[in-house]
Each structure stands twice: as C-alpha cells, then as structure tokens.
Amino acid sequence: MCYFTFHVKQELALLPYKRASPYHNPVNLRRSAIVILALLSLPLLSSCVKVLNPSGWAPVVFDGDTAYVVTSKGKLSSIDIEGDAGTANWTFPDKDRSEDKDLELKAIYGSPIVDGDRIYFGTFHGGVFALRKEDGRPVWPGVDGNPQKIKGDLAGGIVLAGDTIFFGTTEGWVYGWNKEDGGPARGWEEPKKVAGGIWAAPVANGETVFVATTEGNLHAFSMSDGSERWTSFKASGAIIELSFANDDLLFVPSINHHVYLVSVQDGSVVSDFKANNWVWSNGATEGSKLFFGDFSGTVFGLDITTKPATELWAPASVGDEHIRAAPAIIGDVVVVVDRKPVVSFINIKDGTILNRVPLQDAGTVRADLTVKDDFAYISTTNGKLFRAEPKNLKVVEVVLSGVKK
Amino acid sequence: MIGDVFTLLMLNPLVNLLVFLTHILGGSFGLAIIAFTILVRAATFPLTLRQLHSTRAMQSLQPRIQEVNKKYSDPKRRQEEVMKLYRESGTNPISCLGPMLLTFPVFIGLYSAIRIALPNSPEALEKLSGHVYNWSYLQHALPLKEYFLGVDLRGNGGESIIGYVFVALVAATTFVQSKTTITTNTDDKVKSQQQMMNVMLPFMFAFFALSFPVGVSLYWVVNSVAQIGFNILTYGFPALGLEPVFKARTPAAVPQAALAVSGDRGGSTTPAGELRTTNGTGRSKRQNRRRRP
C-alpha cells in the first residue's frame, strides 16, 4: 500500500500538469491510468466479498395449534396453523407501534420457550424478552431494556430451568435471570465469566446448567448459587452447539469434526466419534439411537448404549451441502434438511435415502426441525414454513398470511 | 468466475495464513496482521529495493527528460527520444509498477480476509468453514478473537475512540512516508503539486480508514512504518543528518549523442532554463507544423 500511496501521490500531482502541458509522456500517462483505475476499483473489488450479518435460525415452537415462527430477521410471529395455511395473530417487534420503532433485535437464535402465558426468547443484539402469548407485547424488559447489561451478543439461545432463564454471550459471560421480572436470579447477581465465547444455548438438567465454549470447554454450574461443579471436558475445537443425548449424556459436537458424548455427572467423555467435517447441529434421539448431520452433507446414526457409541449403518450422504439443522425422527423415518435446502427422508433401519425434496424459493435452512403430530416443521431463512410428511415422503408449504414484515 | 479465482488464489490462502499466524501467536489476530505485514514486506523486499532505486534513477533523469520535452514538439518523436534516454541510462520507467501491482491485490485480499476471518455472526462463521483448509491445526483456532489492544479489529475506524486513534496513525504514517520519499523534481509546478499531495493524501487515506475495518488500518500503519524505514535506508533523511545505507545504482551516463538530433541545434544538452520556447530551439509552432508529414 505504501508504494501505492507514493505513486498515487506522484501521479495525482503530475496529472494536472500533464493534462495541461503538451509535454506529457505516454508511459507516465499509462502508469497514471493504472493507478487511478486501481484506486477506483478498490470498493468494487472489496464488495465481491459478502459479509453475512446475523439473520438467525430459531426453530418453530408449538403451543397447541399456535406456532411461534421467526418470520423475518429478528421478528417473532404468533401464527394459528390450520391445515396448509397459517394466519398471524401478532408480530414482535411491530413497526406500526411507536414503542417498537427503535427496537433492533437483529436476529433470533435458539428456540423460543413457551411457559405459562408467556413466551421467552433471546435476541442477538437486543437482549432477552418475555412476551405475553396473547398479544405479543413485552412483559419485560421495559423501555430502558434489560435491568442487567448484557456483555456481548447472544449467538445461542436461552434455557429455562425452574424459575430461571440462563444464557451465555459471545464474550464468555453466563447470566441467570428470573423469569418473572428479568432481573438477576439469586446466586447470579453477577454474571459468571468463562474463557472463550459462548455460541451455544446452555442446557439444564436437575440443579445443573451446562455451558459450552469456543475454547472447547464444557462447564457445569450450580443453578442455585452459580458455583462451578466441574470443567473436566475440553475438546480441541470450538463447541458451538449443545444438547442432551439422554438424561445421562450430553451431545457435544465440535468444529474439530468430533462428536462427544459426555457424562452429565462428572464431565467424563463416554464416547468420541469422528464425523467427516464440522458438526454444528443438535442430534435427534429416539431411545438408544441418535442421528445428526455434518458440514459434508453426511448423516450419521449411532447406538449410544454401547461404549463407545457404534454406528447403526454406513453414513448416509445427502449431498455436499452443510447440515446445520437438527434432524427429526418420525416413526421409521429420519428427516434431514441441508443448506441448499433439500429435505431428505432416510430409513431409520438401514440409512437408505427414501426420497429427496428440494424446497423452492425458500432461502436456506439452518433452524432445527420441530416435530408435531406426524410431521416435521421446517422454518427457512426467508420466513417460510414447510411441513415434511414422512408417511407419503412429501413436503408441503404452510402458507402464512397476515405477517408483518 | 473472477470472484472464484480471486477467492481460490488470493482470499483463501490469506485467510488461512492469518488463521495460522493467529494460532501460533497465542490467538492474537492483531499480532497476526503485524506478522503478516512483515512477511509480505520481507518477501517483496527485492522488488521494493528495485522500485526505490528505480524511482531515484527516474528522478535523476528528470532534468534531461525535460530538456527532451522542450526540445521536441512532435509527441511521437519526443516519446522516442525519452525512451531512448531511458534505454541508454538503463532505467525502466515501468519497473516501479511491479511492487505496486503486487501490493494492491494483497491489500484487497487482506481487506476481504479480515472481514471473513473475523465472523460477526454465526452465519459468517458457517461461511468461514468454507474458506479454511481442512487442516486440524487451523480448524482448532476458530473462531478467532476479534480484540487487539482493546479494539474490535472488525469494527470500522469511525466506530470507537481507539478506532479514531488508528485513523490518526494512518494519516500520520502516510504523511511521514511522503516526507521521506524523494521528490526532487526540477519542475516547480510539479514540486508544488507534490507538496499539496503530501498534505492531501494523509487526509484522503484517513477518510478511507474511517470506513475500513481497524485490522486493515493496522496493516496500513505497520506497512507504512516499514516503508518509511526503507525510504530512510535508501534515500537517507537529510533533516536528521541520516545518510542512505543502500547506495543507489546511478543511471548510466547518457551519451550526449542521445540528445543530438540531426538538423537540431548542435546536439548539446542545453540547460532547461536557457530554452526560451516550447516549440523546439529556434523554431516556431508554424515551422513545426510544416515539418510534420
């Protein structure tokens, strides 16, 4: 850049003179042209690289026949589903309301949580919200935002355990808030700091909340006083997703291509399985069977009752696109959606692919699938809702209406 | 297509090099940028040295080029004579373009690489997975920490106080770099233009730095400091009494015959100040027009 600076200086200084004078020489003029062209093309070339801003990937949540769907970036809608159609009750934030006009939530990651007459969810940049299910208006926070300032962004979701909401931030802070008023919970007056960032939603079991970090650590905190129970596990790569395989085991995928099954009691690794690429999705479990996909477009089925876990069948390749969304199990079929997005129906018994259905004009799929009745619901990045039907191996769109963008 | 080639040949290697350097430097992306700049400067040192010598040689030829310019009014003939002068003095007028043309794509690549390597969202991290080579040493380093000296290297210069400090450093180092570059042009008009650019350029690049990621400004500052060092080693710094360390290759003496043209006055290298007209010694514009085919 310094040569560049020097020559720009030289050439820009000489150009007016050259233009005005008949004594310019063509070599210098050519050089000037190259320099000016290079300077002008700087913004053009740099714009070739698209930076992806947060858009979110929250799965659909059902409460009876009402679905809570992220219908556009950072907006949550309540939708009554009837057959292949859905009608919106409300959308939050509602830009038609003056009090919502300044709300910039950016994105919603992780599953919203329905509890009683409220729905709770965390947003990437706007804090945590408790809305009334009835009308979608916030119970908390008030106009001044959350009572406790959040350090960092929420790239994962939240978890509700008893009366406390837990979440972690990209700067490595773990918070515990009362679900009633959004204030810090007892024992969590100050957030806990861990090394690295937190990109996965915490999970809770009994009296313990588990937090995974980008440093590859897994922390177990006491819910009641925030003390750390163990930090025995450390992966060689970042852990950016976390869920339960069953009551005793944590499903811990890593971008180091490994999936670990970790004991909730002491953090010991019960099983270490190597996939083909990054694993950044939750698993779907049914009894002793666990299924997940990786970034090479491969679906794995494991028997988690053996130590170490063993493969149920040869890995099933559903293409070469990333699989970010957790699969769904319905009867004898595993439903998987990749980033393209294509819905694949896989036979749970032998891993054969029964059908593949591409979704048209759907954006992409990163949100976990949600099972309701005999269907798997798929939420896409452009706010569409699809329903996969394993019985007939088809996918239909649930057409949404009345949604405020 | 062009984007794919750029990604494959420039962006991906840069992203991986930055991730690698970050990992071996204790996870500091800022140190990785500094190390990267030093590596690039070391790799291009022979080109830099050639460019500095070439610039000096070019400038030492300026009086003679001006003489040629004043002597010949026919552009074609003038160009021929100037090229002859370059050839006989062993100077290549476009040799100084090499380092610049190399630096430019590196700068563009780095600008893009910083935006890719420091993901600002989960989606961006997912995208990064497609750029990082399938080598566990690199993969284990992700995601990278974006802070260096308390500043978010992803953020634009105009977004924080420390960002503004970097903007000021960009301006300051650009200014010093200009001052340490030789500008011994014999033409007063060009001299004054260059002095004006010495002042304008720091402001211009500071303006760019306001909207660039701080990481790019860091690269710019380190690179400018390196260039200032090279300039002082090559040109010296008379204001501080510093002599050049790298001695210049003096352009070969230009034979007087290079400027002697049959039919022109005597073939002597008349001092520029003595030339009274711009139409060739002793000729009018009308005479020149008559001589053209």
Q: What percent of chain A has pLDDT over 70?
A: 87
Q: Which of A12, A27, A53 sits opposite B120 (nearest CB)?
A: A53
Residue B277 lies inside a defined structural domain of this protein: no
The ipTM estimated for the assembled molecules is 0.86
Q: Is residue A272 part of a domain?
A: no
Mean pLDDT for the stretch of residues B252-267: 45
- Average pLDDT of the segment spanning A381-400: 95
Q: Which of A335-344, B66-75, B100-109, B151-160 has the lowest mean pLDDT?
A: B100-109
Residues of B within 8 A of A31 (CB-CB) are: 93-94, 97
Residues B151-166: tens digit of each pLDDT: 888 888 888 888 899 9
Is A4 a residue whose pLDDT tops 70?
A: no
Look up the domain containing B226 and give its range. Answer: 2-247
In a domain, B263, yes or no: no
Res A176: pLDDT: 97
Residue B239 has a pLDDT of 74
Q: Which of residues 180-219 of A touch B (CB under 8 A)?
A: 197, 199, 214, 216
Average pLDDT, chain A: 88
Do A257 and B139 make contact, defined as CB atoms within 8 angstroms?
yes
Domain contains B270? no
For residue B121, the chain A residues in CB contact (below 8 A) are: 52-55, 107, 124, 155
In a domain, B271, yes or no: no
Q: Which of A215-229, A387-401, B134-148 has the lowest mean pLDDT?
A: B134-148
Which pLDDT value is given to residue B156? Answer: 84
- Minimum distance, in Å, between the CA of residue B15 and any CA atom of chain A: 12
Q: What is the pLDDT of residues A61-118, one digit of tens each?
A: 999 999 999 998 889 999 999 999 999 999 999 989 998 888 888 899 999 999 999 9
Number of domains comprising chain A: 1
Q: Is residue A293 part of a domain?
A: no
Flag whether B260 is in a domain: no
Tell me whether residue A33 is in a domain.
yes
pLDDT for the residue numbered A198: 95
What is the average pLDDT across B253-262?
47
Tell me which chain B residues have a C-beta less than 8 angstroms from the C-beta of A42: 108
Alpha carbons A321 and A318: distance in angstroms, whole number: 8
Per-residue pLDDT tens digits for B32-81:
999 998 998 888 888 777 777 777 777 777 778 888 888 888 888 888 88
Over residues B205-231, the mean pLDDT reads: 88
> Which residue in A6, A124, A295 is closest to B129 by CB distance?
A295
pLDDT bucket at A224, cuts 50 / 70 / 90? very high
Is residue B257, in this structure, part of any structural domain at all?
Answer: no
Residue B279, pLDDT above cutoff 60: no
pLDDT, chain B, mean = 77
A256–B104 C-beta distance less than 8 A? no
Contact A158, A194 (CB under 8 A): no
Report yes or no on B182 lying in a domain.
yes
Confidence at B147, pLDDT banded by 50, 70, 90: confident
Q: Does A64 reside within a domain?
A: no
Tell me whether residue A30 is in a domain.
Answer: yes
Please count the structural domains in chain B.
1
Chain A closest CA to B258's CA: distance in Å?
17
| pTM of the entire predicted model | 0.79
The residues pairing with A329 across neighbouring beta strands, listed in sequence order, are A334
The proportion of chain B whose per-residue pLDDT surpasses 70, expressed as a percent, equals 76
Whether residue B248 has pLDDT greater than 60: no
Whether B281 is covered by a domain: the verdict is no
Domain span including residue A18: 2-46
